[in-house]
C-alpha cells in the first residue's frame, strides 16, 4: 500500500510534470493539501513531509484541528475552501490565513470587519461558478468584475484571485476561468486530484488536492 510519503511524492511529480509541459516556471504551482475529514495526526504527518498549506471545508472540524496543531501553527497556512455561512465568518476571520470561497459582498465585508487587527490581512479568492450549475456555490462570471472591485477596497482583506470547482467533464472550464482574472490578481485556485494537469495547463497557481495526498476519505458529514 502506498504510504503518505509515496502519495505526496507522486503528487509533486504530477505537478512538476504538468508545470513543465505548460512551459511555466517550476514552483509557480503550489500544492494545497485538502484535509477535510482527515485527523489532525494525518496533517501533522504531511507537515513532516514538508507540506505547510492545508485546506478545510467545515468550520468546527477545522478549528479542532487548528487547536490540535497549535504547537506548529507558525509553520502552517490554513485555507478555508468550503461554503461559508455569514454566521460563522468571525471564526474563520480569526483562525484562517486564506478564504478561497468568498461569493458575496456581504460575506467579504464581514470577514474584513472581523479580521483581528494584530493579524495580516486575510487573503481571499472569489469563488466563480464557471460551469453554471444552479446547485453549486459561486458567482456568475459577469458578477466577478464588480465584486472584485468592491472587495479590493476592503481594508482587512487582500484580494488574490479566483477559485472554482468545475462540473465533472467540463473540459473548457479552467480556461474560461483563467480569462476572468482581474487586474491585480495573481492567484487561480483550481484543479483537484482528478484534473490538476488540465488546471495547470490553464494557469492554476494553487491545486487543491485531497484524495491523491491523503488517500480515500471516510464518508463526509
Ligand X SMILES: *Cc1c(COP(=O)(O)O)cnc(C)c1O
Residues 102-131 that bind ligand X (CB under 6 A): none
Q: Is residue 139 a contact residue for ligand X (CB under 6 A)?
A: no
First and final C-alpha spacing in the chain: 26
Of 58-66, 69-77, 112-120, 208-216: span binding ligand X (CB under 6 A): 208-216
Of 41-49, 90-98, 178-186, 204-212: span binding ligand X (CB under 6 A): 204-212
Q: Is residue 203 a contact residue for ligand X (CB under 6 A)?
A: no
Of 20-28, 113-121, 177-185, 203-211: span binding ligand X (CB under 6 A): 203-211
DSSP-derived secondary structure letter, 21: H
Query: What 3-state class would DSSP assign to 127?
Result: strand
Q: Is residue 177 a contact residue for ligand X (CB under 6 A)?
A: no
- Residue that the C-alpha cell 484562517 belongs to: 96
Kind and range of the H or E run holding 126: strand 122-127
Task: Give the separation between CA 41 and CA 90, rounded to whole angstroms.
Answer: 26
Q: Which is nearer to ligand X, 76 or 209 (CB)?
A: 209
Residues 48-107 that bind ligand X (CB under 6 A): 57, 81
Q: Is residue 18 a contact residue for ligand X (CB under 6 A)?
A: no
Q: Is residue 188 a contact residue for ligand X (CB under 6 A)?
A: no
Task: Give the separation between CA 174 and CA 51, rounded to whole angstroms.
Answer: 25
Q: Is residue 8 a contact residue for ligand X (CB under 6 A)?
A: no
DSSP code string of 38-91? --HHHHHHHHHTT--EEEES-HHHHHHHHHHTGGGGGG-EEEE-S---GGGHHH
The binding site for ligand X (CB under 6 A) comprises 34, 36, 57, 81, 165, 192-194, 208-212
Amino acid at each position: 500500500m502506498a504510504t503518505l510519503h509515496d502519495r505526496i511524492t507522486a503528487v509533486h511529480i504530477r505537478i512538476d510534470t504538468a508545470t513543465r509541459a505548460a512551459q511555466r516556471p517550476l514552483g509557480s504551482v503550489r500544492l494545497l493539501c485538502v484535509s477535510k475529514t482527515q485527523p489532525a495526526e494525518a496533517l501533522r504527518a504531511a507537515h513532516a513531509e514538508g507540506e505547510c498549506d492545508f485546506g478545510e471545508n467545515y468550520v468546527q472540524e477545522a478549528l479542532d484541528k487548528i487547536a490540535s496543531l497549535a504547537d506548529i501553527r507558525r509553520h502552517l497556512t490554513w485555507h478555508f475552501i468550503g461554503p461559508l455561512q455569514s454566521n460563522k465568518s468571525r471564526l474563520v476571520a480569526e483562525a484562517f490565513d486564506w478564504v478561497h470561497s468568498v461569493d458575496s459582498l456581504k460575506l467579504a465585508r464581514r470577514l474584513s470587519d472581523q479580521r483581528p487587527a494584530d493579524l495580516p490581512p486575510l487573503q481571499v479568492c472569489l469563488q466563480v461558478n464557471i460551469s453554471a450549475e444552479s446547485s453549486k456555490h459561486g458567482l456568475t462570471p459577469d458578477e466577478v468584475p464588480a465584486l472584485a472591485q468592491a472587495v479590493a477596497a476592503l481594508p482587512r482583506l487582500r484580494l488574490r484571485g479566483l477559485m472554482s470547482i468545475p462540473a465533472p467533464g467540463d473540459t473548457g472550464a479552467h480556461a474560461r476561468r483563467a480569462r476572468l482574472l482581474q487586474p491585480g490578481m495573481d492567484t487561480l485556485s483550481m484543479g483537484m486530484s482528478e484534473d490538476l494537469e488540465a488546471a495547470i495547463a490553464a494557469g492554476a497557481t494553487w491545486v487543491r488536492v485531497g484524495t491523491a495526498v491523503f488517500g480515500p476519505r471516510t464518508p463526509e458529514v
